[in-house]
Amino acid sequence: MCARPGGPERRMLSARLGRGGEPALKIAGVGQGYVGLVTSVGAAEWGNEVVGVEIDPQRLLALRAGRSPIFEPGLEELVAGHAATGRLSFSSDTGEAVAGARIVFVAVATTDSAGAWDFATMRRCLTGVVPLMDDDSVLVIRSTCPPQLVKEIVPLVDAIRSNADRAPIALAFNPEFTREGNALHDFLEPDRVILGIASDPSGLGEAALRQFYATVEAPILVMGAADAMLSKLASNLYLATKISFANELAALCDVHGSRIERVVEGMSYDPRIGGSFLRAGIGFGGSCLPHQVTMTVADAETLGIDVPLLAAVDSINARQRTTFVDRLAALTGGLEGRRIALLGLTFKPHTDDLRAAPGLDIARDLLSRDAVVVAYDPMETARQRAAGLIDDLLIADTAIDALTGADAVGLITEWPEFVALPWADLARVVRGQVVVDGRNALDPEVMAAAGFTYSAFGRGTQTAQDGSAAASVPVGSPINVRSALAFSES
Ligand code: UGA
């Protein structure tokens, strides 16, 4: 488990209280999902007075009890801490929350459960919130919006105000750049703040946002609304492109018996390239990268624009999952009736999020090829949800339970506890000494010494891309897996 009470976030809290005399702002946060709650908590952390609006009764109940309905390291502690300071409260009453607020952040879903754009919630939300806002307040959209939604929101907000006989208000798009698992840090210490100002009749909107971000040391970039949201999308599209590039490179490394960590290290000293987000494996998952790539490709098709690079990013990402299953099939001599242990289910460590998680696709593919699949993830919530999503998936209570009697092991998520498993002892627990490492997280030397046949992505295992050739024990000089991983993290 990865809850870290009393960890770095506690130190951050005490360091941030009372931020050098800046007058506090009254803030309303509409939507207390992932993005909204982090924004509310961060705003309270900076000394502002925040009311978070949440319409889901269960979520509201949890928040009012000082609990976080979503898992994010450090978040629950700050929800409870700021409830105690009185700077953060939660309500289902939009009018009450918005009255007197200088800034109203809106962070509601812009996609449906399948990851396709869906603007209905945003339209409904704006229709309810905008007429209630004070004339000198600024409406700030935090949700990720494609350009077509930006173009819709700008006149919609004006029309709602004028229909309600209210003066126009300032409107800004302020995209978030927070990673799950690091969201509080990314909010409180951003690399950049982007303010896409759509309208600001009196200049009060930008002034309020500059005050809000006064203690941030990063550059504050002011630009047009569509530019701001495209910057957000472009950042994720580029990160996805880097990962698919690394995966393409990994296939080349496998054919040539090279090690991708070495190759990336060699590239990384060129400041034009860098070394982050180039870790090869089963590809990117989560609620952001996969659907934003897919939807951008779909939008481009609708607009009659050719985006072959992004289409390739998408198909390489899908291919990685299939390659992983093909490798398990090749190394076990066929999957039918084989017991495959999957370590990890979440789309990355330090989250319980299963949205577009590669592990789910892989489990389904293995089951469709008649394997028996038993999975373990350190997050109990993820285990429970996965069991509900995939009928025949067996869920183990511990990693050792999952591994016991397995014909092969697939590493899906690089949780530190999997890297630290006593692999030499485990070779006696599993039935087949085969490990396919979907995250290039394990030490090939350790695995070889423990007697495993180890296959990874671009680590000199010389496995053909389609998995047809059996993987060999890694060749070449030893590599330091920890430093290689540090390289690939952003
Ligand atoms: C992503 C972006 O990184 C954030 O900057 C952005 O704010 C966020 O989306 C968003 O739009 O809200 P997140 O979805 O939390 O953040 O996940 P990432 O850390 O980007 O990881 C995405 C996936 O890529 C994971 O499955 C991860 O395992 C995979 N990955 C990452 C790789 O396969 N290789 C790498 O080198 C890095």
Mean pLDDT, range 137-160, rounded to an integer? 97
The percent of residues in the chain predicted with pLDDT above 70, rounded, is 89
**Which has the closest alpha carbon to 74: 64, 82, 62?**
82
Cα of 96 vs centre of ligand 1, distance in Å, is 36
Residue 23: what pLDDT?
61
Q: Is the pLDDT of residue 8 over 70?
A: no
Query: What pLDDT score does 330 carry?
Result: 97
Q: Is 13's pLDDT higher than 80?
A: no
Give 72 Cα–ligand 1 centroid separation in angstroms.
15
| Paired tokens of 17 | 């209280």
Examine the residue annotation and report whether 288 is marked as an active-site residue of this protein. yes
Q: What is the pTM of this model?
A: 0.90
177 or 9, which is more confident: 177
Spell out a b/e string for 199-223, using b for 16 or more CB atoms within 10 Å of the CB, else e: bbeeebbbebbeebbeebeeeeebe
- Residues 263-314: tens digit of each pLDDT: 999 999 999 999 999 999 999 999 999 999 999 999 999 999 999 999 999 9
Residue 409: predicted pLDDT: 98
Nearest CA to ligand 1 atom 10: 288
- 289 alpha carbon to ligand 1 midpoint, in Å? 7
Residue 461: the pLDDT is 61
Q: Which atom from ligand 1 is nearest to the alpha carbon of 281? A: 33
**Which is more confidently placed, 490 or 443?**
443
Shortest CA distance to 431 belongs to which of 364, 372, 365, 474? 372
Q: Using 50, 70 and 90 to split pLDDT, how confident is the model at 437? A: very high
User: Residue of the nearest CA to atom 30 in ligand 1?
Assistant: 284
Q: Which residues line ligand 1 (CB under 6 A)?
A: 144, 176-180, 236, 239, 243, 277-279, 281, 283-286, 288-289, 347-348, 488
pLDDT digits 0-9 by tens, 362-400: 999 999 999 999 999 999 999 999 999 999 999 999 999
How high is the pLDDT of residue 104? 98
Ligand 1 pocket test, candidate residues 34, 193, 239, most atoms within 8 A of CB: 239
Strand order through the sheet with 372-376:
394-395, 372-376, 339-343, 408-411, 434-437, 453-455
Nearest CA to ligand 1 atom 16: 179
Give the number of other Cβ atoms within 10 Å of residue 451's Cβ.
Answer: 14
Q: How far apart are the C-alpha atoms of 328 and 335, rounded to whole Å? A: 7
The region of weakest confidence among 11-20, 256-265, 319-328 is 11-20
Report the pLDDT averaged over residues 152-171: 97
- Average pLDDT on 331-360 reads 97
The phi, psi pair for 343, rounded to 5°, reads: -100, 110
The model's confidence at residue 22, banded by pLDDT at 50, 70 and 90, is low
**Closest residue CA from atom 25 of ligand 1:** 284
pLDDT digits (tens, 9 = 90+) for 192-206: 999 999 999 899 999
Please write the tens of the pLDDT for every residue from 35-91. Answer: 999 999 999 999 999 999 999 999 999 999 999 999 999 999 999 999 988 999 999
For residue 113, what pLDDT is reported?
87
Does 175 have pLDDT greater than 80? Answer: yes
Q: Which of 104, 142, 133, 80 is nearest to 25 (CA)?
A: 104
Instruction: Supply 468's token pair.
Output: 């047809």
Six token digits for residue 396 = 């183990």
Q: What rounded mean pLDDT belongs to the chain? A: 90
Q: What are φ and ψ of residue 455, in 5° steps?
A: -125, 135
Query: Considering 125, 145, 253, 288, which one is annotated as catalytic?
Result: 288
The pLDDT of residue 466:
43
Residue 15's pLDDT band, with cuts at 50, 70 and 90, is very low
- Looking at residue 354, its pLDDT comes to 97
Residue nearest atom 21 in ligand 1 by C-alpha distance: 284
What's the rounded Cα separation, in Å, for the pair 361 and 62?
31
Alpha carbon of 1 to ligand 1 centroid (Å): 20
pLDDT in tens, 88-106: 999 999 999 999 999 999 9
Q: Which atom of ligand 1 is nearest the CA belonging to 413?
A: 28
- Distance (Å) from CA 351 to ligand 1 centroid: 12
In the prediction, which pLDDT does 85 show? 87
Distance CA 200, CA 40 (A): 23
Q: How confident is the model at residue 475 (pLDDT cuts 50, 70, 90)?
A: very low
